[in-house]
Structure 1
């Protein structure tokens, strides 16, 4: 291991890394007067900007959360790096070759993990891009051509081709000095019987870049009929790739998002390409996951999303029922933006990519221009399910839409939509509509009604238990004997203990196979015959059903790895509780007077600590 970076080189890195430029790659900064710049703090949620940058002195400070420092501190915190990794990250950005004391410069030896993984991904992206021109990549070129993309478009977005070979990329990268461990750790390859094998084979590949432009992962589209994998396969979670905060195309869109105060959310890689090429350069997409809170934080910082600066976030969805459901899910997050949110729906169900192919660039721009406020779309989506030509239909629609209207936090906006709702339903009596909404909300919360579903606890340990039980209900084969051997004492919530006992009662997950309806039916049948009656039995059945349909917190492509990690974490948590109990008992013993018992417990403590360490390593590496 090479020594520390020389102080002289650290000083050069600071000098050649203007703090306004580095911070500006992550958030939008505006003139705050006095030579200062300001923006929304990336380290805590806030409505008004309190994050200040002073370029002349090279420092930043947030008056909201008291975070401050220089450009190296900022990179350390924003990217969760060590000091050395942050310096290396900035040196790479500025084209500076670092020198290390106590050993000098040894290329590739002393670099931090992030730098090495970034370099490996950049080399992989170049490899894929070059292979797009080979004869074997003809299906990929045809796929792009059929969707209106030319060679220059593929080059602009870095689209490439992964050869239909087991080790083509792995051999190439290892020949350039990268280790098998680095390739597997970064998600570029996975462990094979004789070494690393390529994660993507025979697929069209899009490089996924972070906000600064570094390649951190890939999205790959199936091309071959012989490929039995999912249509789209994404890089798994890694030290540099976290799908919950990644937006495809954000590196290309960030300047225009800040300039136009607009962000357009589309559903896929080709949709982002189509929008940018059609004149909508603010388009971004999520990568293998639904749009969520971390994505909102990224966009808010780029939009400088604050009360006195009204921008636009536009969601594009298909006009079918699935698209409407997606829009209604977006409604749940809408009010986390200060800015205005809209929905742009193509009635014929065409996504931006298909729309561009069939109707041209102007049609894509028109789609975005035809946006409708998200609240209005959510309300209209509910109303469309009812016959508004009858009194029964209008009243049913009003009752169904009441929670949506009541969920609007801004009182003025809520009142405005009550007026619109009255007009859309044709009652022409705003007072009646308001009273009815209040009655519906009050009735749903009042006594004597069906019990509301229990709110999911925020306790991480209990949430972990729930996720493992959800896996047991949905994917029993992924858990198998290790889950069955856990024991009921592993679980802390009584209903979790009950569900675990019920699973064991039907033979355990080893008898569940791949899961599916038959397995769930067995569990529900067991719930009815396990001696549980009344409310307890109903709770057990309800929980089983909920776990059977509730989405797992992982992509299908990484479920096996995810299940192993969750199981190890749960086991680790249980062993941690046992450790605490043994330590407590040891503290109460007199090591001289109760020597034999003390030795026995001390031996148990050592064994538990070793088991805890192994499980922690398994959970981290799974």
Structure 2
């Protein structure tokens, strides 16, 4: 079990924008950062990170929290694993305390599969470097491919021995359970004797964006025609090949920094490019490109350059992938290599400078690529040329941005020597067809969830004024509790003319003191149960500590409380997503309005509670003539005067919500 001291050090060291920046392309938005949600499909940023508060909020999915919460949501880490990941990232030594039997029993299936996969990666890598068989076969193969020792270690390449059950026996001997060896696909079950799936193969670990081992690719080195040249781990609880890109762990920082991602087909393409000095490269690992894989890149950059060798089959396949990339609102280019060359072979014999220059000079826009690829086939055949143009317009129709579509239509018109009007008309038909299809799909979905109309509909739910005000007061405490302001107060005293009456004075207090003392003075308590609990806890922390730290406070809260507090604090950051400054609109900051905001909310809370009292008192007035209601009525009149005074003090009419 990880010690509390280690956990505290991790929380104090980890910076939320750095942790999330490894997975999501973040752009500065004022004092915050924004980016595309990694939890939903979107093209406009709704994901906000606040470095000052140490928290994040995804407005599209409602998720939020600190850096540990992000890792648990995004990478499906357990809490201890998220702490270990951050400790490794920030080079923090982990102090261990003995784990209880109950804690050991709570280790779930997915975690066990990850542990088995991590062990397998270490075993294969060690076998490659240190066993006689591994060095003679696996290591020799990688050296023949031109891979250096640094490259082999960077990608943690390995070798699985020729013996039928060498790995399985080793894993079982180390205490790993057979069920998890089988569920990860590392071991194939058989009644008499389970055996290794990847026997006699060089191994390529497939990692998630955070570096977790999800599965493996294995290449056979013998001439066995019955065996597949490349073999991948089967689909499992932790490995879904359509959602994984090989090399993303090693490439993520370079992709974000250079704002471009090179997409290749195979493991060795990625590795050879890395060794040549180009690290922003990933591979679809021989599978057809999928939307999930594209979204993985979309979190880091909007730009993809697809690299293909010159064979016709590969180029045809690339066309299908291009349309998928365009649908995700990304910019795509295509670069092909000379006949007989692929990314691996070309990078191996080309210097870094020449390779960069080649990629820059030969990367074509998808319109130019389609035209150059298919024009030779069309040549003087009008029908084939018409099909080619239609095919190009289909690709353009996939682009969500209308301005980009317009620009590409102009480019297509220029290249293919055809009027823009015809292309625009064809594009409009395609777009309208897509709209109709989406409409049909939505209607089908609505039919599946039809609800019988209520003949006696109830009134819309009333606005919870009290909850809104209490929520805002908590928000102020969380964000600005320790800020000092000069608040107005009323005392009975003598004015300059010598008259006795109310005298307005200004006294400097911290915000939490003003809120606490004001509510204490009027003997007001929060009415909403959850907010009352949070308010009391917050005030207790402020009264006992001179220095309140939101990130540290969140560390020690129950997860459900931490989520609620994150929602409250980050809700104010929504306006940053709209880029008002870019439209020459400069709203006042929360800090600039702090004094007024505190005063307004305290008066509104009093006003609302007094309104409730007046309504209750009115209902208690008896209509029986023999009962004397004068005392109740007098009390009601006094409270009405006080309510009017509060409205005057705030300089506005407080809206009645009921």
Deviates more, 1:404-413 or 1:84-93: 84-93
Q: Does 1:385 align with 2:383?
A: no
Identify the match of residue 24 of structure 2 among 16, 24, 27: 27
Identify the match of residue 368 of structure 2 among 373, 376, 381: 376
Aligned to 2:138: 140
Aligned to 1:241: 239
Residues 443/395 of structure 1: CA separation in 2 closer, same or farther (3 Å cut): farther
Identify the match of residue 232 of structure 1 among 230, 233, 236: 230
Deviation per residue, 1:48-75 (Å, 9 max, x gap): 3332223443322123333212333322
Aligned to 2:38: 42
Deviation per residue, 1:480-517 (Å, 9 max, x gap): xxxxxxxxxxxxxxxxxxxxxxxxxxxxxxxxxxxxxx
Identify the match of residue 338 of structure 2 among 347, 359, 366: 347
Q: Does 1:222 align with 2:220?
A: yes
1:96-111 alignment runs, 5 A limit: 96-97=94-95, 99=97, 103=101, 111=107
Q: Which runs of 5+ in 2 are unaligned?
A: 435-439, 449-658
Q: Does 1:120 align with 2:116?
A: yes
3-state DSSP of counterpart to 1:335? helix
Aligned length: 436
3-state DSSP of counterpart to 1:228? coil
Residues 255/192 of structure 1: CA separation in 2 closer, same or farther (3 Å cut): same
Aligned to 2:61: 65
Within 2, Cα distance between the matches of 1:432 and 1:116?
59
Within 2, Cα distance between the matches of 1:396 and 1:29?
41
Aligned to 1:129: 125
Residues 101/7 of structure 1: CA separation in 2 closer, same or farther (3 Å cut): farther
1:127-526 alignment runs, 5 A limit: 127-133=123-129, 134-137=131-134, 138-226=136-224, 228-303=226-301, 305=302, 312-369=303-360, 370-388=362-380, 394-395=385-386, 397-398=388-389, 401-426=392-417, 429-431=419-421, 437=426
Higher relative contact order (Cα pairs below 8 Å, separated by 6+ residues): 2
Within 1, Cα distance between the matches of 2:228 and 2:170?
25
Residues 53/421 of structure 1: CA separation in 2 closer, same or farther (3 Å cut): closer
Residues 379/136 of structure 1: CA separation in 2 closer, same or farther (3 Å cut): same
Deviation per residue, 1:171-201 (Å, 9 max, x gap): 2222222111221222222212245421211
Contact 1:379-1:405 at 8 Å conserved across structures: no
Residues 183/12 of structure 1: CA separation in 2 closer, same or farther (3 Å cut): farther
Deviates more, 1:189-198 or 1:7-16: 7-16
Deviation per residue, 1:129-174 (Å, 9 max, x gap): 2222444343434432333223332222211111111111112222
Residues 401/382 of structure 1: CA separation in 2 closer, same or farther (3 Å cut): farther
Within 2, Cα distance between the matches of 1:425 and 1:231?
42
Contact 1:169-1:198 at 8 Å conserved across structures: yes
Within 1, Cα distance between the matches of 2:300 and 2:429?
39
Within 1, Cα distance between the matches of 2:9 and 2:247?
31
How far did residue 18 of structure 1 move?
4.1
Within 2, Cα distance between the matches of 1:253 and 1:439?
39
Residues 380/415 of structure 1: CA separation in 2 closer, same or farther (3 Å cut): farther
Residues 142/362 of structure 1: CA separation in 2 closer, same or farther (3 Å cut): farther
Contact 1:382-1:401 at 8 Å conserved across structures: no
Deviates more, 1:64-73 or 1:205-214: 64-73
How far did residue 203 of structure 1 move?
0.7
Contact 2:2-2:96 at 8 Å conserved across structures: yes
Contact 1:293-1:333 at 8 Å conserved across structures: yes
Residues 338/426 of structure 1: CA separation in 2 closer, same or farther (3 Å cut): closer
Contact 1:267-1:285 at 8 Å conserved across structures: yes
How far did residue 231 of structure 1 move?
1.3
Residues 442/213 of structure 1: CA separation in 2 closer, same or farther (3 Å cut): closer
3-state DSSP of counterpart to 1:208? strand
3-state DSSP of counterpart to 1:302? coil
Residues 351/22 of structure 1: CA separation in 2 closer, same or farther (3 Å cut): same
Contact 1:19-1:58 at 8 Å conserved across structures: yes
3-state DSSP of counterpart to 2:377? coil
Within 2, Cα distance between the matches of 1:65 and 1:438?
33
Q: Which runs of 5+ in 1 are unaligned?
A: 306-311, 446-453, 463-622
TM-score scaled by length of structure 1 = 0.62
TM-score scaled by length of structure 2 = 0.58
Residues 432/18 of structure 1: CA separation in 2 closer, same or farther (3 Å cut): closer
Deviation per residue, 1:283-324 (Å, 9 max, x gap): 011235222111122211122x4xxxxxx2111112222122
3-state DSSP of counterpart to 2:189? strand
Contact 1:29-1:38 at 8 Å conserved across structures: yes
Question: Which protein is bigger by CA-based radius of gyration?
Answer: 2
